[in-house]
A and B are shown apart, each in its own frame.
Chain A
Amino acid sequence: MKSRLLKRICKNKTSLTGLIFVLLFALMALFAPVLAPVQNANNPYQLPQTSYQIEPQGPSAQHWLGTTEQQYDLYYGVIWGARLAFKIGITVTLLAFLIGLLVGGIAAYFGGKVDEALMRFTDVVFAIPSLVLAMVIAAMLGPDIKNMMIALTAVAWPSYARLVRGDILSVKERGFVTAARTLGASGSRIFWRHIIPNSIYPSVVVASLDIGYVVLTAASLSFLGLGAQPGTADWGQLIAMARNWVLGAPGHPLAYWYTVVVPGGAIFLFVLGWNLLGDAFRDILDPRQG
């Protein structure tokens, strides 16, 4: 079944493009220490800085993609930014999914008042745009990467809780669950052996495809100064530093284009890859297509 899925992805040109983008970024993240040797052993995500001169410098032999404000190397930022993006995306999605699984599972398993209370709590989190809520939480906790991940997890888990709960409830209604009851299976056996395996896999796929969206939101927070701090190899942070240079130099309005285009391009391609892959998966998972 898994190979069939892979075959279908490879057959479709757009989804194949998405898969290739995601894989390229994964390789970039994996081999970051080879592609851009670590300069500061204590914190590899710290951007190397050749001088304290403020004005960005264009691409050169020394800095392949140029430098941004205060001579932070953009090449290093893109490479290690990919690693940080995966780190943030995977950690947040995984944590949020586990919390969602637990809460959604409890709500669906117990039903009644427990279900009602938990679902009303998710309503509360849904009552405000996730970026706004994440922004407020990140601000309260103090701006750094760890707190940003906490804020992102806090706003992401309720949607998984709802997803898992809905899936469990619909699986609960299916014939084989009743069949298991008439065989004499206990409640917990039915839950763990029949309901969970049948409801969890679609949710896992949906959740993993959200990595692109999580990274986008993380970049937005960093851009607003509520995530990664200046000097971190974080795409959103690099774009925030470019803000001061969008108007260019006198007579050369586009002089510092690379400060926006390099990190912006990285995040665009990253999110694009996940979105293309996501579309393909959604088409494949769509039950109407059999």
Chain B
Amino acid sequence: MTRYILRRLCLLPLVVLGVTFLLFFLTQRLSPEMRASLYVKDPRQMNALEEVIRQYGLRDNVFKQYGRWLKNVAHGDLGYSPSANMPVAQALKQYLPATIQLAFVTMILVVFFGVWFGAASAVHKDKWQDIVARLISVGGFSLPIFVLGLLLLMVFYGQLHWFSPGGYSIQTDIIIHGAGFKTYTGFLLIDSLLNGQWRVFGDVLSHLVLPAMTLCIGSFALMVRVMRSSMLEELSKDYVRTARAKGLSKYQVVYKHAGKNAIIPVITLAGIQFIRLLGGTVIVETIFDYPGIGRFGVLAAQQLDIAGILGFSFLVAILFVAGNLLSDILYTAVDPRIRLE
């Protein structure tokens, strides 16, 4: 087990290097002139492209260029992102906490509603509660998040004006960029509380509602399914029948005994899904104009901002691989039947 983890840890940097090299290799499809133009901030310099190409060695072979990029990364320099109008490293540092915040709130929704619906579905098997939960589960898998996101915007923003897109309101923007507001963690939900700014906290949370609801749909459907089958399995076990025969009420049996055991796979699944949400944030953040790394990545891709794309993929690869490793370990820790080799 320890050996397996060590091996995976050794492979981690290799895999991340592999991904970035692969993407770096792809960027070579773009002409040197095109890549050079990304370094130019003043349009008047456009006729000096050849000089930029020479200065940054954009015609060197791909390994040499990649080596240079890696060296810069080691020094914390991921290049400048024209799409975000700031250095890539700064952009990632600024946007990542917002995305983690979003994923976290989403996960809370997923676990809470997933367990609730899944348990209800199992306890009332084949009754209307079960049918509703199963329909939602099947539908959730098939409803693209960009469709759901637009529908939610239409109803809750257009029609009801309950929530609005973006990361926070203008008033909040003034407060958090003002002199009195201190940044501790970068997570606005936490920093606002540390600053005693309840208004900011509420505002940021309300901006998280729609994106989180949209993002949770796929994981929620999975969660309902897992909770339902896990609960059904528990309920069919001998100890549940014994408990019922002993005279315990149905409620006591279900929620005190079976529920506790049934929830184990759900918690594990939540850990795994947390990292899988990264893919979905790309779309959700774009729809809701939410200032996270997903939106940053999309903008960089749309505008062929190479430094931005590479930096974004670099970060996502690290998060994704490390997260998957963590969830594998979590999985074995919870379920002793699974052995990693």
**A residues adjacent to B (C-beta < 8 A):** 14, 120-121, 123-125, 127-133, 135-141, 212, 216, 219-220, 223-226, 236, 239, 242-243, 246-248, 253-254, 257, 260-261, 264, 267-269, 271-272, 275-276, 279
Contact = CB atoms under 8 A, between A and B. Distances in A.
Contacts of A226: 301-302
A14 B141 CA distance: 14
Contacts of B174: none
Question: Secondary structure at chain B's binding surface: helix, strand, loop or mixed?
Answer: helix
Interface of B: 11, 14-16, 18-19, 22-23, 26-27, 29-30, 138-139, 141-144, 146-147, 150-151, 153-155, 157-159, 276, 278-280, 282-283, 286-287, 297-298, 301-302, 304, 309, 313, 316-317, 320-321
Given A127-B317, A260-B147, A135 B142 contact: no
26 contacts: A121-B18, A123-B18, A124-B15, A124-B22, A127-B16, A127-B317, A128-B317, A133-B313, A135-B298, A136-B301, A136-B309, A219-B144, A223-B283, A224-B283, A224-B302, A225-B302, A239-B150, A246-B158, A248-B154, A253-B159, A254-B159, A260-B151, A264-B144, A272-B138, A275-B141, A279-B138
A239 B297 CA distance: 20
A129 B279 contact: yes
Contact of B151 (A264, A271, A279): A264
Contacts of B316: 128-129, 132
Contact of A141 (B18, B29, B141, B320): B29
Given A127-B321, A264-B147, A246 B22 contact: no
A136 B153 contact: no
A220 B144 contact: yes
B150 A272 contact: no
B150 A131 contact: no
B313 A220 contact: no
B15 A123 contact: yes
Contact of B282 (A120, A131, A267): A131
B136 to A, nearest CB: 12
B190 to A, nearest CB: 26
Given A125-B22, A140-B309, 14 more contacts: A127-B317, A128-B316, A129-B282, A130-B279, A135-B282, A136-B23, A136-B26, A136-B297, A219-B144, A223-B146, A224-B298, A236-B146, A246-B157, A247-B157
A212 B138 CA distance: 14
B283 A220 contact: yes
Question: Secondary structure at chain A's binding surface: helix, strand, loop or mixed?
Answer: helix
A243 B301 CA distance: 19
Contacts of B15: 120, 123-124, 127
A127 B18 contact: yes
Given A127-B320, A139-B301, A140-B29, A14 B138 contact: yes
Most buried by A among B15, B16, B157: B15
A181 to B, nearest CB: 26
B150 A260 contact: yes
Nearest to A242: B150
B18 A124 contact: yes
Given A120-B14, A128-B317, A139 B27 contact: no
